């Protein structure tokens, strides 16, 4: 495979779980961008946000996007805000196919409600806030995506299979 599959979308749309399923199905390497950032920075995402702020986190994220996209042949689970900067999207598009995972705000809430490592939602863990932030990012996610897959009421394996079918169609 001479390109990367870049999974994007809001927190809780299943990017990490689905990318692991695709990695197993296609026998390709998986990179989880948040894990990569944590290893690279030597501290948790919560700590980066609380010590240095969101802008610094976004700078580190942009450096990591560059590094990750310098290689091909992988499935990459991107952080939910990774496509907010143009430079990141440019980098991703050079050798990557961008697959957007979507979910209803209620589905996202159910999936992330017990999570304490998503600083963007800390203190705002409710459906209303999630719906608001999703709405703010929706156009951006849709305009950068090559393929869009809804994930509500589907298993990670179903979503992974659907992505692979859509990629075949896209590549034709």
Q: Binder to ligand S3P among 5, 17, 22, 34 (CB under 6 A)?
A: 34
Task: Give the closest residue to 4 by CA, choosing from 86, 83, 65.
Answer: 65
Whole-angstrom Cα distance, residue 152 to residue 145?
18
Q: Please, what is the minimum distance in Å from the beta carbon of residue 32 to ligand S3P?
A: 8
Count the site residues for ligand S3P by CB under 6 A. 10
Q: Please, what is the minimum distance in Å from the beta carbon of residue 88 to ligand S3P?
A: 12
Q: Please, what is the minimum distance in Å from the beta carbon of residue 9 to ligand S3P?
A: 7
Helices marked H in 100-154 — which ranges? Answer: 105-112, 127-144
The three-point CA angle 121-123-126 to 5° equals 65
Whole-angstrom Cα distance, residue 47 to residue 41?
10
Q: Binder to ligand S3P among 17, 80, 88, 103 (CB under 6 A)?
A: 80
Whether the CB-CB separation of 130 and 105 falls below 8 Å is answered with: yes
111-130 residues in contact with ligand S3P (CB under 6 A) are 118-120
Binding of residue 14 to ligand S3P (CB under 6 A): no
Question: Which residues lie near ligand S3P (CB under 6 A)?
Answer: 11, 15, 34, 45, 79-81, 118-120
């Amino acid at each position: 495979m001479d390109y990367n599959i870049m999974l994007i979308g809001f927190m809780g749309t299943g990017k990490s779980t689905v990318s692991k399923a695709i990695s197993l199905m296609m026998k390709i390497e998986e990179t989880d961008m948040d894990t990569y950032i944590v290893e690279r920075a030597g501290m948790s995402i919560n700590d980066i946000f609380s010590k240095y702020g969101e802008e610094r986190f976004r700078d580190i994220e942009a450096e990591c996007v560059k590094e990750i996209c310098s290689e091909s042949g992988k499935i990459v689970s991107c952080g939910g805000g990774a496509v907010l900067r143009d430079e990141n999207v440019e980098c991703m598009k050079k050798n990557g196919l961008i697959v957007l995972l979507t979910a209803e705000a209620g589905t996202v809430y159910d999936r992330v409600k017990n999570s304490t490592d998503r600083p963007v939602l800390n203190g705002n863990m409710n459906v209303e806030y999630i719906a608001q932030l999703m709405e703010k990012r929706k156009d951006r996610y849709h305009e950068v995506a090559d393929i869009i897959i809804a994930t509500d009421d589907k298993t990670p394996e179903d979503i992974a299979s659907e992505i692979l079918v859509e990629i075949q169609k896209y590549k034709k």
